[in-house]
Chain A
Amino acid sequence: MYAPFELEMPGDLAGALDALAAGRDSKTVPIAGGTNLIVDMRAKRERPDRVVALGEVGELRGMDFGAERISIGGRTTVTDLLRSPEVAEAAPSLIESARLFAGLMVRNTATVAGNIACGSPAADLVPPLLSLDADVTLASAAGTRTVPLDEYFLGYKRDVRRPDELITRISWPRLPVPSVNTFYKLARRKGDAITVTGVALTLCAAGGTCTKARIALGAVAPIVLRARQAEALLEGRALTPALIDRAAAAAAAASSPIDDVRASAGYRLHTVEVLTRRLVSRAWDRFDRQGDQGTAASAAVPAHEVTAQRRAGSDGRSA
Chain B
Amino acid sequence: MTGITSEAPSRPNVRFRQVGRPLTRTDAPGKVAGRTPYAGDYVMPDMLHMRVVRADVASARLVRLDVSRARALQGVACALTAADLPDRAVSTDIPGQVGRKRLDTGQQILVRERVRYFGEPLALIAAETRDVADHALELVEAELEPIPGVYDPVEAMQPGAPIVTEPDNIVAERRIRKGDVEAGFAEADVIVENTFRTPFQEHAFLEPEVGLAWVDENDVVNIRVSTQVIEHFRPIADAIGVPHNKVRIRGALVGGGFGGKEDLTVEIYLALLARRTGRPVRLEYTREDSFVGHGKRHPFVLTYRTGVTRDGRITALDVRMVADSGAYVFLSPYVLLYALVAAPGPYRVDNLDVFARAVATNNMFTSAFRGFGALQACAAYEQQMDEVAKAIGLDRMELRRRNFLKTGEPMSTGFVPPSAIWTDRCAERAWAALGEPTPARGPIRIGRGIGCYQQSYGRLTFLHDTSEAWVGVEMDGTVVVRSGVTDIGAGQVSALGQIAVEALGTTLDNVVVYNSDSAVTPLAGTTTATRALYMTGNAVKQAAEAVRARLVERAARAFGVAPDDVDMGFNEVFVAERPDRSMPLVELVRICGAEGIHRSELAMFRAPFTDFLDPETGQGQAHPDYAYGAHAVEVAVDVDTGEVEVLKSVAAHDVGQCINPAAVEGQIQGGAQNGQGYALSEEMLYEEGRLITPSFSEYLMPTAMDMPKVECIILESRSGVGPYGAKGIGEPAMTPVAPAIANAVADAIGVRVFEMPITPERIVRALKRRDGTGRLDSPA
Instruction: Give A residues with C-beta under 8 Å from B.
Output: 1, 103, 186, 188-194, 196, 256-257, 259, 261-267, 269-271, 274-275, 278, 304-307, 310-311, 314, 317-318
Q: Which residues of B contact A266 (CB under 8 A)?
A: 775-779
Are A267 and B760 interface neighbours, CB within 8 A? yes
Residues of A within 8 A of B759 (CB): 188, 263
Contact of B645 among A186, A270, A310 (CB under 8 A): A310
Q: Evaluate contact between A189 and B703: CB separation under 8 angstroms.
A: yes
Q: Which of B681, B706, B761 has the most C-beta atoms of chain A within 10 angstroms of its own C-beta?
A: B761
> Please, which residues of chain A bring their CB within 8 A of the CB of B778?
259, 264-266
Does B394 count as interface, using CB distance less than 8 angstroms? no
Closest CB of chain B to A70's CB: distance in Å? Answer: 28
CA gap between A22 and B97 in the complex, in Å: 67
Bound: A266/B130 CA distance, A: 44
A270's nearest neighbour on chain B, judged by CB, is B776
Question: Given A188-B681, A188-B759 in contact, is the A318-B705 Cβ separation under 8 Å?
Answer: yes
Whether the pair B779, A189 counts as a contact (CB closer than 8 A) is no
For the complex of A and B, the 4 pairs showing the least CB-CB separation, nearest first, are A191-B703, A191-B705, A266-B776, A190-B705
In the complex formed, the residue of A with least CB distance to B777 is: A266
Q: Taking CB as reference atom, which chain B residue is nearest A104?
A: B704
How far, in whole Å, are A257 and B779 apart by their CA atoms in the complex? 8
| B703 contact set on A, CB distance < 8 A | 103, 189-192
Q: How far is the CB of B456 from chain A (nearest CB, A)?
A: 32
Contacts of A256 in B (CB 8 A): 779
Q: Do B643 and A278 touch across chains, with their CB atoms under 8 A apart?
A: no
**B760:A305 contact, CB within 8 angstroms:** no
- Verify A189–B692 contact, CB threshold 8 A: no
Q: Check: B173 CB closer than 8 A to any chain A CB.
A: no
Chain A's closest residue to B704 (CB) is: A317
Chain A residues whose C-beta falls within 8 Å of the C-beta of B640 in the assembled complex: 274, 278
Sampled A-B contacts (20; CB under 8 Å):
A103-B703, A186-B641, A188-B700, A189-B706, A190-B705, A256-B779, A259-B778, A262-B698, A263-B760, A265-B778, A266-B775, A266-B778, A267-B761, A270-B764, A304-B638, A306-B636, A307-B638, A314-B705, A317-B704, A317-B705
A306:B438 contact, CB within 8 angstroms: yes
Chain B residues in 8 Å Cβ range of A265 = 778-779
Q: Which residues of B contact A311 (CB under 8 A)?
A: 705
Q: Which residues in B have their C-beta under 8 angstroms from that of A186?
A: 641, 643, 760
In whole angstroms, what is the CA distance A266 to B764 when docked?
11
Are A306 and B645 within 8 A (Cβ)?
Answer: yes
Q: Does residue B442 face the partner (Cβ distance < 8 Å to A)?
A: yes
Contacts of A189 in B (CB 8 A): 681, 700, 702-703, 705-706
Across the interface, do B698 and A261 meet the contact criterion of CB distance under 8 Å?
yes
A270 to B642, CA, bound (A): 11
Interface membership of B441, Cβ < 8 A: yes
Q: A190-B703, A192-B705, A278-B640 are in contact. List 19 more A-B contacts (CB 8 A).
A: A186-B641, A186-B643, A189-B702, A190-B706, A256-B779, A257-B779, A261-B683, A261-B693, A263-B759, A263-B760, A264-B776, A266-B779, A269-B779, A270-B776, A274-B640, A275-B641, A306-B441, A307-B645, A311-B705
Which of B441, B764, B777, B778 lies at the interface centre, i.e. has the most chain A CB atoms within 10 A of its CB?
A: B778
Q: Shortest Cβ distance from B703 into chain A, in angstroms? A: 3
**Inside 8 A of A271's CB, which chain B residues have their CB?**
641
CA–CA, A186 to B134, complex, Å? 37
* Chain A residues closer than 8 Å to B638, beta-carbon distance: 304, 307
Residues of chain A contacted by B779 (CB below 8 angstroms): 256-257, 265-266, 269
| B444 at interface by CB-CB < 8 Å | yes
Q: How far is the CA of A257 from the CA of B441 in the complex (A)?
A: 30
Q: What is the bound-complex CA distance between A276 and B550, given in angstroms? A: 78
- Give the residue name and chain of the A residue nearest to B693 (CB): A261
- Give me the interface of B with A, judged by CB distance under 8 Å: 130-131, 134, 438, 441-444, 636, 638, 640-641, 643, 645, 647, 681, 683, 685, 692-693, 697-698, 700, 702-706, 759-761, 764, 775-779
Contact A188:B697 (CB < 8 A) given known A266-B775, A317-B704: no
Chain A residues lying within 8 Å of B681, measured Cβ to Cβ, are 188-189
CB-based contact A304/B692 at 8 Å: no
Q: Which residues of B contact A318 (CB under 8 A)?
A: 705
Most chain A CB inside 10 Å of its own CB: which residue of B693, B759, B779 = B779
Residues of B within 8 A of A103 (CB): 703
CA distance A12 to B643 in the complex (A): 46
CB distance from B633 to the nearest CB of A (A): 15
* Complex contacts, A317 vs chain B, CB 8 Å: 704-705
Residues of A within 8 A of B761 (CB): 263-264, 267
* B700: chain A residues within 8 A (beta carbon): 188-189, 193
- Interchain nearest-CB distance for A308 vs B (Å): 10
Q: Hey, which chain A residues are within 8 Å of B131, CB to CB?
A: 1
CB neighbours (8 Å) of B636 from chain A are 306-307
Residues of B within 8 A of A306 (CB): 438, 441, 444, 636, 645
**A111 CA to B736 CA, complexed, in Å:** 42
How many angstroms between the C-alpha atoms of A103 and B696 in the bound complex? Answer: 13
CA distance A274 to B776 in the complex (A): 13
Assess the B442–A305 pair: CB atoms within 8 A: yes
How far is the CB of A98 from the nearest CB of chain B, in Å? 14
A196 to B681 alpha-carbon distance, docked (Å): 13
Bound Cα distance A254, B638 (Å): 24
**Distance from A142 Cβ to chain B, minimum over Cβ atoms (Å):** 37
Q: State A307–B641 Cα separation when bound (angstroms).
A: 13
Residue ID in chain B nearest A309 by CB atoms: B441
Q: What residue in chain B is nearest A273 (Cβ atoms)?
A: B640
- Which listed residue, A191, A257, A267, A270, touches B706 by the CB 8 Å rule? A191
Name the CB-closest residue of A to B687: A261
User: Bound complex: CA of A262 vs CA of B761, how far in Å?
Assistant: 9
A261 pairs with B685, CB closer than 8 A: yes
Given the contacts A188-B700, A191-B704, A318-B705, A267 and B645 also touching, CB distance less than 8 Å: no
How far is A189 from B701 in the complex, measured between Cα atoms in Å?
8
Are A188 and B760 in touch, CB under 8 angstroms?
yes
A261 touches B692 (CB 8 A): yes
| Residues of chain A with a CB closer than 8 A to B775's CB | 266
B134 partner residues in chain A, CB cutoff 8 A: 1
Name B439's closest neighbour in chain A (CB-CB).
A306
The closest CB in chain B to the CB of A317 belongs to B704
Name B639's closest neighbour in chain A (CB-CB): A274
Residue from B441, B705, B706 with most neighbouring chain A CB atoms (10 Å): B705
CA distance A264 to B647 in the complex (A): 27
B692 nearest CB neighbor, chain A only: A261
Chain B nearest CB from A284 CB (Å) reads 15
Minimum Cβ distance to chain A for residue B200 (Å): 14
* Chain B minimum-CB-distance residue to A277: B640
Q: Which residue of A lies closest to B702 (CB)?
A: A189
Bound CA span A257–B776, Å: 13
Chain B residues in 8 Å Cβ range of A196: 760
| A contact residues around B438 at 8 Å (CB) | 306
Q: Which of B442, B697, B705, B760 contacts A194 (CB 8 A)?
A: B697
Nearest chain-A residue to B701 (Cβ)?
A189
Given that A261-B693, A266-B777 are contacting pairs, would A304 and B444 also be in contact in the complex, using a CB cutoff of 8 Å?
A: yes
Closest chain B CB from A257 CB (angstroms): 8
| Complexed CA–CA distance, A261 and B695 (Å) | 12
User: Nearest Cβ distance between residue A263 and chain B, in whole angstroms?
Assistant: 5
Cα–Cα distance between A263 and B764 once the two chains are bound (Å): 12
Query: A265: nearest residue on chain B (CB-CB)?
Result: B778
CA distance A310 to B683 in the complex (A): 25
**A238, B661: Cα distance in complex, Å:** 61
- Which residue in A191, A269, A307 is a CB contact (below 8 Å) of B643? A307
Q: Which residues of chain A are within 8 angstroms of B777 by Cβ–Cβ distance?
A: 266
Q: How many Å from the CB of B362 to the closest CB on chain A?
A: 20
Rounded to whole Å, the gap between the CB of A36 and the closest CB of chain B is 11
Q: Please indicate the chain B residues that have their CB under 8 angstroms from the CB of A307 in the complex.
A: 444, 636, 638, 643, 645
Chain A residues whose CB sits within 8 angstroms of the CB of B441 once the complex forms = 305-306
Q: A190-B703, A191-B704, A266-B776 are in contact. Are A304 and B693 (CB under 8 A)?
A: no
B444 touches A305 (CB 8 A): yes
Report the Cα distance A299→B572, complex, angstroms: 68
A1–B137 Cα gap in the complex (Å)?
Answer: 12
Cα-based distance from A170 to B704 in the complex (angstroms): 32
